[in-house]
Structures are given as structure tokens and as C-alpha cells.
Structure 1
């Protein structure tokens, strides 16, 4: 086993690393409305008004416009973009580039949502608690809670859970106390 791998397995070093990473996120990115447990996976372009709940995560190379909030336990994989709806295009006789910008609508992404890699979410969309967006999807409309959507444009694929009782159990967990984090450690490959 390499020394780097052993260091990554150390809980004590991970806590020190996360402390400095939080300082970096708060001061370099200017993100003042993210929970102290929020994590970022690499270089991103995120609006300073971004709001993020407990144990939420934004992957490497994400682009997030103003007015976006994500709930606790929500994960955005790498290359996710939350963009769009930022140009007037319907004024006759004026090119779009000179037509100004409309007021940008707020984007709400619920708790325990997973947005797959390379997905695009259009600004102003609401994604319900517990939903999953398949990798490479383009979300143009609101997404109901506890569903899996995918495609271009994203469409309903199936429910996340198999029964209403499972949904209620998950919702009770989301409404309850914040769960204690169990740190994900690098996977070992034999």
C-alpha cells in the first residue's frame, strides 16, 4: 500500500484537510451561505449567493448560476451545469445579444438529490426531495420528489422507492435530525 493511500485512510488527517478546505471554500470562493459540512470536489464556477445544506457536495468543474440552493445530503457530480434562461430573445427587431436579460428565477434542488455527471439543469427549475437525475440529462421542467429522471429533455423513468411506505420512511429521515457523517474512504482495488 502506498503512503498516500494510507494518509487518505486516516480520519485525523481527513479532519484537518476538511478544516482547511472549508476555509478555502468560504474565503476564496466567497460562499458564505453553505453549511460547514458542505464539500466541493475541485475547481468550479459557483455564484457567491449559492446556498447549500448539510453534507451537500458539488463535484469538479461545475457551473452554477445565481439563485441556486441545494438541500442537505444533495450531490452534484462533475461537470453539472445549472444555467440558462438568462437572455431575452422575444423582442421583435432587436437581436438577442442587445435585448437585455430577464430577472433570473431561483432554482431549488431538494434534499438527498443526486444529479449525475454532465447534466444540465435549467435555471428556475425545482427538483424535489430524494430525486435522481441520470448522467447526461437536461432538466427543463420541475421534477417530482422521489423519482428518477433521465434523457434529453429529462423524462420520468421510474420511482426511486418501491412503496409509499419507503418514501415516508425516507421523508421522515430527511425531516429529522442531521445524520452523523461517515466519511467515504477511497476504494481499495485488489
Structure 2
């Protein structure tokens, strides 16, 4: 294992780096409502009122409108957009460009949600705890908890867990104390 790999896999060093990065995220992006364990994977355009829970993540090249909150352990992959619902279009005799804007609705993304790369989430949507959105999906309606949705527009594919008792066990974890001393470690490859 290389020296760089050893450093990246060292929990103490990673913890110090995460604290440094947290301060940098708050300063550069002006994000005052994100937990210190929130992480961002690269440059994105994120509204300053963004709310992010513990150990949540936003990948590079995301575009996130105002009024968005994500829960603890939620992952948003690269190139995800949370946009839309920001132009009136149904005023007869007035072009959309001159029709004004409706009041922007809040977008709530629960805990332990995984939103796949290149997905679009329309504002005003609620995505329940434990749900997964397949890469490249366009979410136009609310998503029930522990559901997997995919497609354009996104449709229900299947439940995330086998049984309701599995969902209850997972919900108990999500409602419980924050998991301690856990983090994603860098990917390691065979023969590296």
C-alpha cells in the first residue's frame, strides 16, 4: 500500500481533513445550515439556504435551487439537478418569460437517500427516507420511503428491503443516535 493510501485510510488524519474541508465548504459556498460532517465532492452551484444532515454528500457539478434539505447519510451523485417549478406558464395572452414566478416550494429529501448521477429532481418533491433514485431519472412526483424509482419520468421499480420488518429495523437506526467513527474509505483495487 502506498504512503498516500495509508494516509487516506488513517481515521485520525481523515477526521482532521474533514474538519478543514467543512470550514472551507462553509466559507466558499456560504452554507451555514450544513452539518460539520457534510461533504462535497467538487464544484457545484448550491443555494446558500441548503440544509444538509450528518454525513450527507453532494457530488461534483450539481445544481441545487433554494429551499432544499437533505437528511443524514444521504448521497447525491454527480451532475444532479434539483430545479424547476419556477416560471408561470398558464397566463393566457402573456409569454412565459413575462408571466412572473410562482412561490418556490420546499424540496425535502429524507435520510439515507441515494440519488444517482445525472438525475433531475423537480422542486417541491418529497423523497422519503431510505429511497434510491436510479441514475438519469427525472423525478416529478413524491417518492415513498424505502422505494427504488427510475426512468423518465421516474416510476416505482421495487421496494429497497425485503420486508416491512427490515424497514422498521432500518428506521430505528435512522431515528437513533448518529453512527460513530464511520466513514467511506477510499476505494482500493486488487494488485494496487
* TM-score clears 0.5: yes
**Counterpart position of 1:135:** 135
Deviations 1:22-42 (A, max 9, x none): 111111111101111111111
Deviations 1:100-124 (A, max 9, x none): 1110000000111010011000000
**Counterpart position of 2:124:** 124
Relative to the length of structure 1, the TM-score reads 0.96
**Distance in 2 of aligned mates of 1:80 and 1:40:** 13
**Distance in 2 of aligned mates of 1:111 and 1:183:** 16
**Distance in 2 of aligned mates of 1:115 and 1:143:** 12
**Counterpart position of 2:184:** 184
Deviations 1:19-69 (A, max 9, x none): 111111111111101111111111110000000111111111111000000
Task: Count residues with an aligned counterpart.
Answer: 190
**Counterpart position of 1:34:** 34
2:29 match: secondary structure: coil
**Counterpart position of 2:151:** 151
**Counterpart position of 1:21:** 21
**Counterpart position of 1:80:** 80
Deviation (angstroms), 1:186: 1.6
Deviation (angstroms), 1:4: 2.8
Q: Is the 8 A contact 2:108 2:125 kept in 1?
A: yes
2:158 match: secondary structure: strand
Specify every segment of 5 or more residues in structure 2 that has no aligned partner in the other structure, as ranges.
none
Deviation (angstroms), 1:95: 1.1
CA RMSD of aligned residues (A): 1.1
Specify every segment of 5 or more residues in structure 1 that has no aligned partner in the other structure, as ranges.
none
**Distance in 2 of aligned mates of 1:162 and 1:135:** 22
2:22 match: secondary structure: helix
Relative to the length of structure 2, the TM-score reads 0.95
Task: Return structure 1 stretches of 4+ with deviation > 4 angstroms.
Answer: none
1:103 match: secondary structure: coil
Deviation (angstroms), 1:5: 2.6
**Distance in 2 of aligned mates of 1:179 and 1:2:** 29
2:5 match: secondary structure: helix
